[in-house]
A = this chain, B = another copy of it.
Amino acid sequence: MPETSLIFPAKEYRGRVARVQAAMAATEAEALLLTMPEDIFYITGFLTRFWESPARPWFVIVPATGDPVAVIPAIGVDLMSRTWITHIRSWPAPDPRDDGVSLLAGTLCDLVPENGTIATPMGAETHLHAPLGHYDAVKRHLGQRRIIDGTHLIQSVREIKSEAEIAKIRETCGIADRAYARVPEFAREGAPLDQVFRNFQIALLQEGADWVSYVAGGAGQGGYTDVISPAAAQPLQAGDILMLDTGAVKDGYFCDFDRNFAIGTPTDAVRRAQEALWQATQSVLQTLRPGHVACDVHRMLDDALRASGATTGGGRLGHGLGIALTEWPSFTPLDTTLLRAGMVLTLEPGVDLGQGRILVHEENIVLREDGPELLSTRAPQEMVIL
């Protein structure tokens, strides 16, 4: 068993903690309590598929100064001790009498003075990854200490990726690129859609994914109607447009982009939509810069699509990406998040083809000082015909 389980050198994680602590210094918070797997992975490097089990809560506390403290089930101590974290407190979870409540409360009391303030994420794209009743019980142990929203303390740091992180996401995008190139091997007229989904996941694993957290897509005559359902067994037919979308994972880092394929010659309507989507994306690749805000991207894509005569639908047209399939911000008309160099983003314009049919086009980029750099290999301008 390797001595370290870390993907990056310890200094990468120390830098993250320093940035969280710098953000914390501008607030009244004396500690940041994290419960979500992504946040715990980000701070500690603790990577496991064991999060899939909802049986046990996990906690990491970043104090205003000094190293983080992990308060975790005993089953995780061995792996946590092979990260850079040295302050580890554990209990024999699951324990129906006291499932970490006293240990977490005691740790918070050790780290935060009476009348002090604890932050924890409470905003959009977060959730309390622990039982609500246990959280209320912890609060009752905290005396005069207050709990405030700490969403921005972690999100403002996580949203800027280091070069090491960008390299990881590029690697995962490369895995998906190679898997998409192999779609013609298994997707053709007559192939059942559920089998296409299975074969695509197999291709992703063969090309180097550690696991495949997300595959979605759809197929339908002249466009698909739904992109979040599991695949049915219906065979692909001539005239179908097939879309595959994936969040494969390598070393804990995701890609998230799709590709479209035509089963036989696509209709003129599909060709025009494809061209509009490709060109709209192209215009953002050329003009997006740090200093734009999230809603600017929505407007740029929407304007370009309308200018080409396409009908746009509702919904967001892209989002952040990294250690989760989707991260903030959202490219909607309402999101005013400042876009900064180092953000990894998806550009995901969609076109409404009528009768509920849509076409969606997606690329992954990192925003640099001089504009977007592609992490996915640019989709072909004309749709691949199978």
Which chain B residues border A215 with CB–CB below 8 Å?
49, 211
Interface size, chain A (Cβ < 8 Å): 85
A163 within 8 A of B: no
Work out how many copies of this chain go into the complex: 2
Chain A window 164-193, contacts with chain B (Cβ cutoff 8 Å), 1 for yes, 0 for no: 000000000000000000000000000000
Interchain CA distance A122-B316 in the complex, whole Å: 32
Interchain CA distance A216-B47 in the complex, whole Å: 12
Which chain B residues border A133 with CB–CB below 8 Å?
122-123, 149, 151
| A18-26, A61-69, A103-111, A222-230: which lies at the interface | A222-230
* Contact between chains at B128 and A127 (CB < 8 Å): yes
How near does chain B come to A58, taking the closest CB pair, in angstroms?
Answer: 11
Interchain CA distance A324-B55 in the complex, whole Å: 10
A88 within 8 A of B: no
* Contact between chains at B332 and A94 (CB < 8 Å): yes
Interchain CA distance A99-B127 in the complex, whole Å: 14
Docked complex: A192-242 residues within 8 A CB-CB of B: 194, 197-198, 201-202, 205-206, 209-216, 218, 220, 225-226, 228-232, 234
A74 within 8 A of B: yes
Q: For the complex, would chain A's binding face be called helix, strand, loop or mixed by DSSP majority? A: loop
**With known contacts A97-B334, A202-B205, A215-B211, A55–B125 Cβ distance under 8 A:** yes
* Contact between chains at A55 and B2 (CB < 8 Å): no
Interchain CA distance A48-B124 in the complex, whole Å: 21
Which chain B residues border A76 with CB–CB below 8 Å?
228
* Contact between chains at B74 and A226 (CB < 8 Å): no
Which chain B residues border A134 with CB–CB below 8 Å?
122, 124
Chain A window 75-109, contacts with chain B (Cβ cutoff 8 Å), 1 for yes, 0 for no: 11011001000000000101111010000000000
Q: List 7 A-B contacts (CB under 8 A).
A: A49-B213, A50-B216, A82-B229, A99-B124, A122-B133, A126-B131, A201-B205
5 smallest CB-CB distances across A and B, nearest first, come from A122-B133, A50-B228, A122-B132, A53-B326, A52-B214
